Amino acid sequence: MTQRFLIYGTLGWGMEIVWTGLLSAFAGDVRLTSTTYLWMFPIYGLAVFLEPLHDSIRHGPWWLRGFIWVAAIWTIELSTGALIKVLTGAIPWDYSGSSPWQVGGLIRLDMAPLWFGVGFLFERLHDYLVETLQIN
């Protein structure tokens, strides 16, 4: 479990660095500036606790699983962001003013398609780590 926590945290950071770098490229930044936060490592690592959810929904229709992933990711993003705000007074990824689709600065509804796809990547990664690499 600890190994998978570390893997999810590391891959989440990498995914975020690539994503924000691509977004900066589309905005005209030839430096491909990326951003992430140290807070994100343990938050991405929390994916280890989504593995039982994956096991319980794995035989459901793809579209239902996708919506479940969106809801699960938003729940984690909302709750961890709110907790960090209580602890520090600020949300590291504060979405306030960045999108009309933001909710309390904590989540963005327009990111649903991204989280839909990330859920399926997580499913593949979970199966690969457990079945192929046998990382427990």
CA-based max dimension of the chain: 44
Helix axes 62-88, 112-127, angle to 10 degrees: 100
* Residue the block writes with tokens 């590291």: 92
Quick check: 19 and 46 in contact, CB under 8 A? no
Provide the pLDDT for residue 136. Answer: 81
105 burial type by CB count under 10 A (0-12 exposed, 13-18 middle, 19+ buried): middle
Mean pLDDT of 67-96: 97
**Which element (helix H / strand E) includes 64?**
helix 62-88
Mean pLDDT of 20-30: 96
Please give the tally of structural domains in the chain. Answer: 1
In sequence order, the 6+-apart residues with CB closer than 8 A to the CB of 115 are 69, 70, 73, 74
**From the CA atom positions of the chain, what is the Rg in Å?**
16
Q: Is the pLDDT of residue 88 over 90?
A: yes
Quick check: 41 and 80 in contact, CB under 8 A? no
Mean pLDDT of 83-87: 97
- Determine the structural domain holding residue 30 and report its residue range: 2-132
pLDDT tier for residue 69 given thresholds of 50, 70 and 90: very high
pTM above 0.85, yes or no: yes
